[in-house]
Amino acid sequence: MAKAAKEAKAEQNTARRNLNFDPLWKKLIDAKLTKTELAERVGISRTTISKMARNEPVGLEVIVKICNCLDCDVIDVLFILPEQE
């Protein structure tokens, strides 16, 4: 594997470990919305919802759309865990 590809993979793994979308799932429960309903309202794919369910990174535009739809701030949707050594 090329050096740049290895670095990109390592960066992706770090981001995956550090993101946590639990606040979003709790907010959906409180709002009595399903993940499918959120995807439809926001205009994002189920694949994107699945990525968030696995705490994988998604684009900032997606986060902004979700915040606008749910009338909330980023902190209400996700948090970032400190890096683990």
Question: Domain coordinates of the chain in residue numbers?
Answer: 3-80
Spell out a b/e string for 35-64, using b for 16 or more CB atoms within 10 Å of the CB, else e. eeebbeebebeeebbebbeebebbeeebbe
Q: What architecture is the 3-80 domain classified under in CATH?
A: Orthogonal Bundle (1.10)
Q: Which two tokens stand for residue 51?
A: 């990525």
Determine which helix (DSSP H) or strand (DSSP E) holds 79, and give its type and residue range: strand 79-80
- pLDDT at res. 72: 96
pTM over 0.95: no
Q: What is the pLDDT of residue 82?
A: 83
| Structure confidence at residue 16 (pLDDT) | 47
Mean pLDDT by 10 residues, the chain (85 residues): 61 65 97 97 97 96 97 96 76
